Amino acid sequence: MLAYRWRADLASRSGPAPVAEIRVASGEIVLIAAPGMEEGLLPGPGTGLVLRAETAGTIEVTLRSAFEGGSLVADLELKNIETPRPVAGAVPGAPRTELPRGACDFSVTAHVSLRGDLTAARGDWICGPGAPGRIEGLEIKALSGDLPVEVQVASGGRLSGWTPWLAAGTYAGSRGKASPLIGLRLRLTAEAPAHLALKADATFLGAPTLTRVGREIELSGASLLDPLVGLRLDIVEAGAADLPAPAVPVLVTAPPSRLRVFRRAPESAVAA
């Protein structure tokens, strides 16, 4: 937020305060004025406007005196009014799972629309059910050693389609293009010990959280267009993941019929 502040030492001077004109010089920045106010114009102290930045950029401020020879002294303050970012949106106090033998610890960094880059530790949520946000891209980073994980992402909008398989440490997706992820594939490479598996919880807009476990997993929404709004990724023992039991198809048998069928004997048999 850009605020035109009132100061007693400036107010004591003769003449009205200058008018501040704001213009976006670079980057994807939107100026949002208060109701009834002209966009990009701060007429005097006590006024302000909101700047919504999708990317890094610059603004230009021009001060125009209220009359010829008037004052050009003003006190403008740029304040960050972004809501606090709980790292990964994790539940406070949630216990960390033990890293399996032979596994490499890692973190996940995701670019979230209107929030920027968020980083989560292994096993913690980025966004998710408690604080959903449209994830536009992500990067899985090893904290030590080599991480035998590869990732593919599918984006909606103009960037539709699956990317090639990308190694851990490579950013997959976009930033600030309003093109959220609609699909995610993860796999362990051949270098990963055979007893390890990936476990992912994902939330897509308007759908319950889904869980996938395996050496290669795929995550997508019900309609194939629903954006990914939450992700939690971990590496576990292949047989240690708790998954809901698969639904067993129920075989419905028809009740016994009370209808009896009688067949008439052929006339030749009756005559005999």
Give yes or no: residues 122 and 230 share one domain: yes
Find the radius of gyration of the CA atoms of the chain.
31
Q: In terms of Cα–Cα distance, which of 5, 22, 18 is closest to 72?
A: 18
Q: Which residues contact 11 (CB under 8 A, 6 or more apart)?
A: 17, 45
What per-residue confidence (pLDDT) applies to 180?
Answer: 92
Q: HSE (CB half, 13 Å, CA atoms) of 171? A: 11
What per-residue confidence (pLDDT) applies to 50?
Answer: 85
**Percent of the chain scoring above 70 in pLDDT:** 77
- Examine residue 116 and state whether it is found in any structural domain, yes or no: yes
Please identify every stretch of the chain with a pLDDT value under 70, giving residue numbers as ranges: 7-15, 81-96, 157-160, 240-272
Give yes or no: residues 114 and 196 share one domain: yes
- For residue 71, count CB atoms less than 10 angstroms from its CB and return exposed for 0-12, middle for 13-18, buried for 19 or more: middle
What per-residue confidence (pLDDT) applies to 184?
Answer: 96
Whether the CB-CB separation of 150 and 178 falls below 8 Å is answered with no
212 lies in which domain range?
87-237
Give yes or no: residues 47 and 177 share one domain: no
Q: Which region, left, alpha or beta, applies to residue 267 given φ > 0 means left and ψ of -120 to 50 means alpha?
A: alpha
Give yes or no: residues 66 and 93 share one domain: no
Q: Give how far Cα 242 sits from Cα of 99, 143, 238, Å.
A: 16, 26, 10
Q: In terms of Cα–Cα distance, which of 161, 135, 160, 138 is closest to 149?
A: 138
Give yes or no: residues 144 and 174 share one domain: yes
What per-residue confidence (pLDDT) applies to 96?
Answer: 65
Total number of domains constituting the chain = 2
Give yes or no: residues 71 and 143 share one domain: no
Give yes or no: residues 188 and 226 share one domain: yes
Give yes or no: residues 91 and 69 share one domain: no
What per-residue confidence (pLDDT) applies to 266?
Answer: 53
What per-residue confidence (pLDDT) applies to 1?
Answer: 80
What per-residue confidence (pLDDT) applies to 67?
Answer: 83
- Examine residue 157 and state whether it is found in any structural domain, yes or no: yes
Give yes or no: residues 33 and 120 share one domain: no
What per-residue confidence (pLDDT) applies to 34?
Answer: 78
